[in-house]
Amino acid sequence: MREKQLTRHDLGREKFISEVWEWKNKYGGTILQQLRRLGASLDWSRECFTMDDKRSKAVTEAFVRLYKQGLIYRDLRLVNWDCVLRTAISDIEVDYIDIKEKFPLKVPGYDKPVEFGVLIKFAYPLEGNLGEIVVATTRIETMLGDTAIAVHPDDARFKQFHGKWLENIRDWCISRQLWWGHQIPAWYVTLEDDELKEFGIHDDHWVVARNEEEAQDEANQRYNGKKFHLNQDPDVLDTWFSSGLFPLSVLGWPDDTEDLKAFYPTSVLETGHDILFFWVARMVMLGMKLGGDVPFRNIYLHPMIRDAHGRKMSKSLGNVIDPIEVINGISLEGLYKRLEDSNLDPKELGKAIEGQKKDFPNGIDECGVDALRFALVSYTAQSDKINLDIQRVVGYRQWCNKLWNAVRFAISKLGDNYIPPANLTPDVLPFSCQWILSVLNKTICKTLQSLESFEFSQATTAVYSWWQYQLCDVFIEAIKPYFTGNDPKFASERRFSQDTLWFCLDNGLRLLHPFMPFVTEELWQRLPSPKECKREESIMICSYPSAIEVLAATQTPGEAGKNWFQGAADAVRQFHC
């Protein structure tokens, strides 16, 4: 539309909505494709959209109920107006910028920068010869919309003017002067004998209903015997209204479904802190009112991903990272092509291309899913922001390769005919086996504790450390001599080491699986299984490791013993080199 220099008003409402649906069907699945590639373990059969029929029914029902309870009403209010989109927006949708001096800012719709930061003073004369109140503002033109003046309650100069402006907390403006969205289920009744027939001129001529037929019936009852015609409010609802209903609507509300009985309220909401008030507060409010309970018991606020320099990702800066491009890799030319095919303003395209060239001079290396997932989870220790450095993801890709090689090597030491035992007896195992099982047990406990407390970065640190520094660097190196030949005197140690190694691989892969699902699945499928146990078809439906009581009761080798063991393993590794 921009290339054709058309606005939605040029197309008309019906054609414009048709165009948006076409765009949605073509590009709306991008995020879902990203989630699938990232290995999100979701029930995809429950996929839905806030504008589909079932969710639209819920939106209409919620609006009608809240209106009839007096919680939704129509009134004249001063609103924030977006001059480009030509619609009202809520207070929390406004971005505030602190300006300490005269400063030109580029404003959409203006060819030249608009000057801000110039403080202008003017006086409001007061009735009854009470003097005047001087007001300072940087936007003198807004005085035409002023309806009242607020003064500080502790300022003695205005003590005689003190009133009450805290009881007058502003409500949520839920109407938007747009066309894409849920059209407000309110109809204006124009009576044949109305002298003023302008749409919406009479505040008491509105009826709210679930559909036009119901609106017609209500109007007939209210204006019995009078002739009239109905026109639906052209405005749509704020998108956060329908989104706020999602914990209910996704489970079938307003119908009393089995899903609603079983799953509402839910357990955890995972979202970003930037929409805490846009979305989360509205879900809680609507959930309590319409669902009878809060929609979730816990909220996990993930950090917001920024670029390596800490800048917010923006197409105009050229620093937006598509996870698919990190997984598959992409050349610098490919990054350019994505920008050129986007709807970026041509004036900003050159700046964005320069930004890409600076940040990704050689493009983005292929990192794979597992490395990206592990990097993102490990980053969650960074408060509310992730300064994503692709080189860190590349580092975890290299670790995936090391993991693959180490496990393949370990499996080779089990042998083709190896059958693992159904149980291990720690007391009869040699020192090295007792030690690795002990630290595995500690790692399982630490990981479970971290996951339960939403400390996901600590969980990845615990799992990574065990695999890298204890299993690979110490235990595997320490038991290598048992497998260099077939010396009968090492037969029992070899068998104990095989059983312990298998136990560690099985538990370790299951422990790592939520963070690296693909490489762990591939390696786990190669492990032999005990004869007495029925093997699950996939690692993802296996039980997650739990603390092993018999190991918890086993005395852990002391730190001195561990250090000796580490030194011995280092010596063995150096001898082989």
Q: Which are the contacts of 367, defined by CB distance < 8 A and separation ≥ 6?
A: 326, 327, 329, 390, 393, 394, 396, 397
How far is the C-alpha of 299 from the C-alpha of 319, rounded, in Å? Answer: 29
Q: Rounded to the nearest 5 degrees, what angle is found at the Cα of 536, between the Cα atoms of 530 and 539?
A: 105
Whether residue 306 contacts residue 312, with contact meaning beta carbons closer than 8 Å, is answered with yes
How far is the C-alpha of 206 from the C-alpha of 430, rounded, in Å? Answer: 83
| Tokens standing for residue 404 | 């693959």
Check the CA dihedral 273-275-278-281 and report its sign.
negative
| Tokens standing for residue 211 | 């559909």
| Tokens standing for residue 137 | 């503002």
- What does the pLDDT read at residue 565? 59
Whether residue 184 contacts residue 88, with contact meaning beta carbons closer than 8 Å, is answered with no
Amino acid at 442: K
Whether residue 226 contacts residue 193, with contact meaning beta carbons closer than 8 Å, is answered with yes
- What does the pLDDT read at residue 230? 96
- What does the pLDDT read at residue 561? 57
Whole-Å CA distances, 205 to 226, 237, 406, 503? 13, 20, 76, 75
Whether residue 165 contacts residue 152, with contact meaning beta carbons closer than 8 Å, is answered with no
Whether residue 300 contacts residue 272, with contact meaning beta carbons closer than 8 Å, is answered with no
Q: 10 Å Cβ neighbour count for 10? A: 11
Q: Which are the contacts of 187, defined by CB distance < 8 A and separation ≥ 6?
A: 206, 207, 208, 209, 212, 215, 219, 230, 231, 232, 233
Helix (H, G, I), strand (E, B), or coil: what is residue 552? helix
Whole-Å CA distances, 279 to 33, 215, 243, 414? 23, 30, 7, 53
Q: What is the DSSP string of 78-130?
A: --EEETTTTEEE-GGGPPP----S-EEE--TT-SSPEEE---EEEEEEPGGG-
Whether residue 135 contacts residue 124, with contact meaning beta carbons closer than 8 Å, is answered with yes
Q: At what angle do helices 491-512 and 431-452 cross, to 10 degrees?
A: 10
Whether residue 41 contacts residue 540, with contact meaning beta carbons closer than 8 Å, is answered with yes
Which of 340, 341, 247, 233 is CA-nearest to residue 286?
247
Beta strand spans in 283-391 (E): 296-302, 304-306, 385-387
How far is the C-alpha of 1 from the C-alpha of 219, rounded, in Å? Answer: 40
Start-to-end C-alpha separation, the chain: 66
Which of 244, 265, 261 is CA-nearest to residue 252?
261
Q: Considering the entire predicted model, what is its pTM?
A: 0.79
Beta-strand relationship, 266-272 and 296-302: parallel
| Tokens standing for residue 218 | 């209500």
Contacts 24+ apart (CB under 8 A), 533-541: 533/422, 539/509, 539/510, 539/513, 540/41, 540/513
Which of 378, 556, 559, 557 is CA-nearest to residue 464?
378
Helix (H, G, I), strand (E, B), or coil: what is residue 186? strand
Whole-Å CA distances, 410 to 241, 340, 440, 506? 55, 49, 16, 12
- What does the pLDDT read at residue 577? 41
Farthest CA pair distance, the chain: 112
**Tens-level pLDDT at each residue, the chain (577 residues):** 767 778 888 889 999 899 899 888 888 888 899 999 999 989 999 999 999 999 999 999 999 999 999 999 998 877 888 877 788 887 777 877 888 888 888 877 778 888 888 888 888 888 777 788 888 887 777 777 676 777 777 888 877 776 567 344 568 889 999 999 999 999 999 999 999 999 999 999 999 999 999 999 999 999 998 999 999 999 999 999 999 999 999 999 999 999 999 999 999 999 988 888 889 999 999 999 999 999 999 999 998 888 888 888 887 778 888 999 999 999 999 999 988 887 777 778 888 888 889 889 999 999 999 999 999 999 888 678 888 899 999 999 999 999 999 999 999 988 888 898 888 888 888 889 999 999 999 999 999 999 999 999 999 999 999 999 999 999 999 998 888 877 787 788 899 999 999 999 999 999 999 999 999 999 999 999 887 778 899 999 999 999 876 565 455 555 555 565 566 555 545 544 4
Q: Which residue has the tokens 């924030």?
A: 80
How far is the C-alpha of 427 from the C-alpha of 554, rounded, in Å? Answer: 8
Whether residue 290 contacts residue 282, with contact meaning beta carbons closer than 8 Å, is answered with no
Whether residue 432 contacts residue 492, with contact meaning beta carbons closer than 8 Å, is answered with no
Which of 451, 444, 462 is CA-nearest to residue 547?
444
CB neighbour burial string for 212-232, b if at least 16 within 10 angstroms, e if fewer: eeebbebbeeebeeeebebee
| Tokens standing for residue 7 | 């606005």
